[in-house]
Structure 1
C-alpha cells in the first residue's frame, strides 16, 4: 500500500474506511476485534472529531497501519483533496 495523506478528520476517516473494506472487514467485525461498538467505528470513519486518541491507535493497529508524523508537503489544498 502506498502512503496516504490525511490533513483532517474526514480524510483520515476515508482512509480507514477504504483500508477496512480492502481487508474485508465490516465495521462491526472490526469493532469486535478491538472491543469497540460498531457505532464508534462508524463515527471514526465519518471523521467525527470527538474520537479518543486511544481508539484511533487501536483501529490503526487492527488494520495493520501506523501513524507517521512529518512536515507538511507544500501541495495546494486542491491537490490533497484530489487524493480522496
Structure 2
C-alpha cells in the first residue's frame, strides 16, 4: 500500500506505523539507522527538520523507498484526521 506524506508530521506517522509493523522499538530503528532513539522519536512526532540523508537512512532501515511523483488533486484532509 502506498502512503502519501505532504508534511513532516505525516512522514513521521508513516515511519512510526512501519516501525511498529516490523516490531521494532525506536531504539532498534535508531541502531539500524545509526541514529539516537531521541532522533527517531522527534521524527515520528513531526518535530524534526531531519536531513534527507537521515530520512533515507531511516527508510532503508525499514526496507522502504522514496517515490516522487506529481501531487494528486485529492482531498486536503490530513492523514492524521483519517486515523
What is the match of residue 34 of structure 1? 33
- The CA deviation at 1:56 is 0.3
Equivalent residue for 1:74? 73
Secondary structure (helix, strand or coil) at the match of 1:3 reads: coil
Measure, in 2, the Cα distance between the counterparts of 1:49 and 1:34: 16
CA RMSD of aligned residues (A): 1.3
Q: TM-score, normalised by structure 2?
A: 0.90
Partner residue of 2:50? 51
2:40 aligned with 1:18, yes or no? no
Q: Residues of 2 paired with 1:23 and 1:64: CA distance?
A: 10
Q: CA deviation at 1:51?
A: 1.0
- Deviation track 1:3-30 (CA, whole Å, cap 9, x = no partner) reads 0111100001000000000000000011
* Other structure's SS at 1:18 match: helix
Following superposition, which runs of at least 4 residues in structure 1 exceed 3 angstroms of deviation?
A: 80-84
CA distance in 1, matches of 2:58, 2:42: 12
Structure 1 length normalisation: TM-score? 0.89
